[in-house]
């Protein structure tokens, strides 16, 4: 089904990692990539063993100086060419993302478009890696700040965005003068190889050394090697809060830098002043898009009692119209979960909802029969719950939407929204200016992303992406997120013939 796309992307149906000219590393055990769409095997990939990992590191270190010594606009030109390469292969890569991960083909195309957009952003950034000039307290002195490359950036990404999140990090890290090593999810290894292959073609065409970009494939062991390795200056890790805590603790023991993008437990507040048609659209897409497997997926709907019944009934009606099936069919709204382990977590969450006293308004189930042979398709569920339930406090990576009622002012709804450990994305649906501004104030949402009259899911690359609390505090993509990939340096220049000291200190001899 996907063979033509694999050939177009330069990778065959069965894969063994090599190093020369391709810069991916694997001589260890082979893992199988099996599509959640139809349960069929796409191919096999050899995992990275420790000798392979060492070669990846030494190759990256050997390329570091050559790459960082290129002027930033020249590095931007290479990234621009990569963006053009992605434009040429957008359809094939989008289809591979859809088939290997399970999201809809339209979402797969959107993910590749994110890669193109961040390349465009990075190209412009390559001419604006700016510092600041400050006035010195000492006469005939000049003081300023500048930014330098860190060196080696390690990227650990998750299955749900198998290409875009890497590109967010890779495009910025590269224009900032770093070399990169990527551990993609072992659940979507062919997406990683395809991206590396395309970037390698650009690097080779520009006569640049191997090691500027490398990938390592495997289980959590590879991620642990990266986190422990003092030769890697920054670890950017995207995934669960549990994983992020392990990475943060390991990197901290060597006083390294980490950039964390972790779990979300995102809520939409629906006030009596909301446009309810827009609300339903935002809630349904946010809850069922990517089968609920986005870190920004809508998990909770906090609804004022005056409009609660209307929203509840409209949602349950909308869910009856959802089409569930192969994501390669653009008529379908919901594809599969990533694997049968994810299905088990989904079923466990439904069981916990009932145990804690919640009511399932739309019952969930695993779908079987023709078209569902992978056993990864599930029915999106809606449950009436209380915000304090233990299951509600967790992030369940599945299409389960919790309805929670509030009765007072918008401050009560905000308190409910903030009363979880995660702090990624949030939204309020209201046409009341006071409610909107309250939500966006320091007394409002405690999340890294706060939206008005749009959902929690879907972020533009121009803004910094990330969250607070157990979401990790990192920022990727737009705005000044590039600073995370560079080291900051303050410079003072004395152009006088004397040596005045700061703070007026006198030192005579």
Catalytic residues: 261
Q: Distance (Å, rounded) from C-alpha 9 to C-alpha 96?
A: 10
Contact 440, 450 (CB under 8 A): yes
Contact 172, 125 (CB under 8 A): yes
Strand, coil or helix: what is 65? helix
Residues 6+ apart with CB under 8 A from 442: none
Token reading at 114: 């994110």
Instruction: Tell me the helix, strand and coil percentages in the chain, rounded to 5.
Output: 40, 20, 40
Q: Distance (Å, rounded) from C-alpha 116 to C-alpha 87?
A: 7
Query: For residue 366, what are the β-bridge partners?
Result: 378
CB neighbourhood size of 418 (10 A): 16
Sign of CA dihedral 43, 335, 107, 401: negative
Residue with tokens 């009932």: 354
Q: Distance (Å, rounded) from C-alpha 13 to C-alpha 4?
A: 10
Q: Distance (Å, rounded) from C-alpha 182 to C-alpha 26?
A: 13
- Angle at which helix 164-175 crosses helix 189-205, to 10 degrees, equals 30
Contact 271, 444 (CB under 8 A): no
Alpha helices in 356-448 (DSSP H): 390-393, 410-418, 433-440
Distance, first Cα to last Cα, the chain: 82
Q: Is 278 exposed, middle or buried (0-12, 13-18, 19+ CB in 10 A)?
A: middle
Q: Distance (Å, rounded) from C-alpha 238 to C-alpha 162?
A: 11
Contact 51, 354 (CB under 8 A): no
Q: Distance (Å, rounded) from C-alpha 330 to C-alpha 508?
A: 79
Q: Distance (Å, rounded) from C-alpha 397 to C-alpha 270?
A: 23
Token reading at 504: 């007026």
∠ CA 298-299-304, nearest 5°, is: 90
Token reading at 48: 């990275």
């Amino acid at each position: 089904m996907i063979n033509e796309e694999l050939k177009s992307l330069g990778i065959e149906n069965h894969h063994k990692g090599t190093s020369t000219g391709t810069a991916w590393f694997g001589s260890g055990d082979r893992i199988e990539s099996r599509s959640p769409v139809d349960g069929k095997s796409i191919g096999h990939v050899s995992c990275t063993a420790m000798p392979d990992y060492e070669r990846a590191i030494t190759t990256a270190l050997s390329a570091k100086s050559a790459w960082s010594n290129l002027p930033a606009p020249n590095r931007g030109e290479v990234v621009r060419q990569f963006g053009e390469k992605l434009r040429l292969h957008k359809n094939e890569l989008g289809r591979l993302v859809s088939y290997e991960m399970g999201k809809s083909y339209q979402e797969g195309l959107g993910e590749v478009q994110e890669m193109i957009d961040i390349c465009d952003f990075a190209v412009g950034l390559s001419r604006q890696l700016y510092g600041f000039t400050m006035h010195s307290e000492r006469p005939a002195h000049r003081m300023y700040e500048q930014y330098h490359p860190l060196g080696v950036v390690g990227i650990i990404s998750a299955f749900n965005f198998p290409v875009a999140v890497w590109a967010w990090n890779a495009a910025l890290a590269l224009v900032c003068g770093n070399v990169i090593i990527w551990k993609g999810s072992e659940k979507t290894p062919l997406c990683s190889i395809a991206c590396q292959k395309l970037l390698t073609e650009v690097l080779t065409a520009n006569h640049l050394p191997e090691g500027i970009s490398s990938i390592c494939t495997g289980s959590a062991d590879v991620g642990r090697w990266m986190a422990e390795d003092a030769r890697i200056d920054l670890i950017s890790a995207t995934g669960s809060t549990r994983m992020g805590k392990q990475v943060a603790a390991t990197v901290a023991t060597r006083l390294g830098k980490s950039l964390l993008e972790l779990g979300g437990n995102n809520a939409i507040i629906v006030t009596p002043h909301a446009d309810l048609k827009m609300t339903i659209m935002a809630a349904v897409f946010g809850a069922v898009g990517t089968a609920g497997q986005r870190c920004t997926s809508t998990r909770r709907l906090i609804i004022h009692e005056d409009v609660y019944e209307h929203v509840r009934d409209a949602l349950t009606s909308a869910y009856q119209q959802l089409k569930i099936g192969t994501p390669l069919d653009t008529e379908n709204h919901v594809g599969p979960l990533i694997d049968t382990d994810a299905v088990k977590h989904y079923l466990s969450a439904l069981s916990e909802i009932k145990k804690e006293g919640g009511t399932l308004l739309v019952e969930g189930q695993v779908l079987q029969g023709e078209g569902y042979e992978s056993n990864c398709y599930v029915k999106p569920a809606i449950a009436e719950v209380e915000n304090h339930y233990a299951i509600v406090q967790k992030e369940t990576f599945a299409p389960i939407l919790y309805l929670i009622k509030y009765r007072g002012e918008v401050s009560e709804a905000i308190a409910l929204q903030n009363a979880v450990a995660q702090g990624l994305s949030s939204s309020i649906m209201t046409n009341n200016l006071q409610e909107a501004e309250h939500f966006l104030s320091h007394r409002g949402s405690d999340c890294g992303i706060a939206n008005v009259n749009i959902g929690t899911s879907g972020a533009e690359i121009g803004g910094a992406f990330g969250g607070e609390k157990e979401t990790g505090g990192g920022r990727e993509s737009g705005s000044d997120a590039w600073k995370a990939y560079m080291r900051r340096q303050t410079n003072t220049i004395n152009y006088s013939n004397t040596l005045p000291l700061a703070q007026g200190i006198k030192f005579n001899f």
